[in-house]
């Protein structure tokens, strides 16, 4: 079976993890945590990095740092993983949903302003499947309405965005460098993995200190078991950080591998008329975290049937996200009204992603392409 994703574990990963074990510093303190935080922050051109136990906990802690009030609103894409909604809801705020762009599959920046109210306090753009959100309009809205940006770069390690595109001041910046606070996930299927783990990045010292406190049960610095606030145990272990550091040190190599996989898939699948392939806007350098394919809505085969046929031929797939407005629990909680999100619905019903991990071989990639041609041509 060709897996959807398989991590690439190298010599330094083994070396650093063993060094960590031998040191005895295996919990939530140690030099690998400090080194991982500083290395990843520097790569993303940020001042501060704060490791967490997951991308989900990073989102939750980042929202908590904003000191919002119950009922305050945060605008999020409906086409994303539920972690985004959870981070809002667990902080007693209200998620406000925006549909996806039909081409990039990221939140449609043109639909955000109409959702802004007097209760809106932040926007949470999510770079989907490795392609950046068009951030310039969102940054302009944030400045206009004095809103925070919680940038979710969990799927976009090493992706780049042409900030100021179309102007004389345009320049390439890393995803994860544009939010008031930005977050990453280091889950096993990400371009950089620590098995499980996450990180918050920011340039604001006050927010960085808040995040460090929240992830560590809000212990007071002068009296460890005194608590003036409620926090969380969102700490990363030194073992995880050892693995993450080794992965981060070769991020450029990993990005090149992923972009090559994306390019090869596009070259080999572009003549299948029945599917739409990922785009790369001229203001983006995407990293194809997952290589998605999208069937026509009126195709005689649906995404579930295609997934079953591919599985029968030894190829794993995963369905696209199911929109937040389609989640029964969120409907029951009253967060989703009768709004229509046509693009997200189309993506959820007709999309799936195919094997695209860093360890994917040329032989495996060609097998996937040949199989898709056999089914769809």
The rounded distance, in Å, linking the Cα atoms of 337 and 74 is: 16
The rounded distance, in Å, linking the Cα atoms of 194 and 208 is: 21
Does residue 297 surpass a pLDDT of 80? Answer: no
Residues found in the chain: 377
| Chain centroid offset of residue 314 CA | 27
Give the pLDDT confidence of 231-248 residue by residue, as tens digits.
999 999 999 999 999 999
Residue 162 · residue 129 · CB < 8 Å? no
Four-residue CA torsion sign, 16, 21, 24, 27 = positive
Does residue 299 surpass a pLDDT of 80? Answer: no
Which residues share a beta bridge with 285? 160
Give the pLDDT confidence of 32-64 residue by residue, as tens digits.
999 999 999 999 999 999 999 999 999 999 999
Helices (H), 78-224: 83-89, 135-145, 205-215
Residue 85 · residue 63 · CB < 8 Å? no
Helices (H), 270-341: 303-312, 328-332
pLDDT of residue 226: 94
Average pLDDT, the chain: 97
Give one word for 164, left, alpha or beta, with left for phi > 0 and alpha for psi -120 to 50: left
Residue 278 · residue 266 · CB < 8 Å? yes
Order across the sheet with 160-163: list the strands: 171-174, 160-163, 284-285
pLDDT of residue 362: 97
How large is the average pLDDT for residues 106-114? Answer: 98
H/E stretch holding 354: strand 351-354
Secondary structure (DSSP) of 133-174? P-HHHHHHHHHHHT-EEEEE-TT-TT-EEEETTTSTT-EEEE
How large is the average pLDDT for residues 162-185? Answer: 97
Beta-carbon count within 10 A of 167 CB: 10
Give the pLDDT confidence of 216-225 residue by residue, as tens digits.
999 998 888 9
| Residue 43 CA: distances (Å) to CA of 36, 40, 173, 211 | 11, 5, 11, 20
Which residues share a beta bridge with 94? 73
Does residue 340 surpass a pLDDT of 80? Answer: yes
User: Where do the domains of the chain lie, and which CATH numbers do they carry?
Assistant: 11-98+105-249 (3.40.640.10), 252-376 (3.90.1150.10)
The rounded distance, in Å, linking the Cα atoms of 100 and 41 is: 29
Residue 123 · residue 146 · CB < 8 Å? no
- For the record, the structure tokens of 309 come out as 């046929």
Residue 356 · residue 277 · CB < 8 Å? no
Beta-carbon count within 10 A of 155 CB: 27
* The residue to which tokens 């944030």 are assigned: 142
* The residue to which tokens 């400045």 are assigned: 143
Strands 148-152 and 73-77: unpaired
Q: Does residue 31 sit in helix, strand or coil?
A: helix
The rounded distance, in Å, linking the Cα atoms of 56 and 48 is: 19
Give the pLDDT confidence of 11-29 residue by residue, as tens digits.
999 999 999 999 999 999 9
Residue 186 · residue 158 · CB < 8 Å? no
Q: Which of 84-88, 135-139, 293-297 has the lowest mean pLDDT?
A: 293-297
- For the record, the structure tokens of 363 come out as 């032989």
Give the pLDDT confidence of 254-278 residue by residue, as tens digits.
999 999 999 999 999 999 999 999 9
């Amino acid at each position: 079976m060709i897996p959807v994703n398989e991590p690439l574990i190298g010599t330094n990963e083994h070396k650093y993890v063993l060094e960590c074990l031998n040191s005895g510093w295996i919990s939530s303190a140690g030099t690998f945590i400090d080194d991982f935080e500083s290395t990843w922050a520097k790569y993303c051109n940020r001042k501060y990095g704060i490791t967490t136990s997951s991308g989900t906990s990073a989102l939750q802690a980042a929202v908590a740092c904003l000191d919002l009030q119950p009922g305050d609103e945060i605008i999020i894409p409906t086409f994303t993983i539920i972690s985004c909604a959870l981070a809002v809801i667990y902080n007693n705020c209200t998620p406000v949903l925006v549909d996806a762009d039909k081409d990039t599959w990221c939140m449609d920046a043109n639909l955000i302003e109409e959702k802004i109210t007097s209760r809106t306090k932040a926007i949470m753009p999510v770079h989907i499947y490795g392609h950046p959100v068009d951030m310039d309009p969102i940054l302009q809205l944030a400045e206009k309405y004095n809103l925070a940006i919680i940038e979710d770069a969990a799927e976009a390690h090493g992706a780049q965005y042409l900030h100021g595109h179309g102007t004389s001041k345009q320049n390439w910046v890393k995803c994860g460098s544009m939010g008031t606070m930005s977050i990453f996930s280091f889950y096993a299927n990400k371009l950089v993995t620590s098995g499980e783990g996450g990180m918050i990045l920011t340039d604001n010292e006050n927010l960085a200190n808040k995040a460090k406190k929240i992830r560590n049960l809000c212990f007071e610095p002068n009296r460890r078991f005194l608590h003036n606030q409620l926090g969380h145990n969102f700490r990363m272990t030194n073992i995880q950080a050892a693995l993450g550091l080794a992965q981060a040190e070769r991020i450029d190599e990993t990005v090149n591998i992923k972009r090559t996989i994306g390019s090869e898939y596009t070259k080999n699948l572009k003549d299948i008329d029945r599917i739409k392939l990922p785009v790369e806007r001229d203001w983006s350098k995407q990293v194809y975290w997952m290589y998605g394919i999208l069937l026509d809505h009126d195709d005689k085969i649906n995404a579930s049937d295609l997934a079953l046929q591919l599985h029968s031929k030894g190829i794993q797939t995963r369905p696209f996200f199911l929109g937040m407005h389609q989640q029964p629990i969120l409907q029951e909680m009253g967060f989703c009204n009768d709004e229509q999100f046509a693009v997200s619905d189309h993506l959820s019903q007709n999309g799936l992603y195919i094997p695209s991990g860093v360890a994917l071989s040329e032989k495996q990639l060609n097998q996937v392409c040949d199989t898709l041609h056999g089914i769809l041509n």
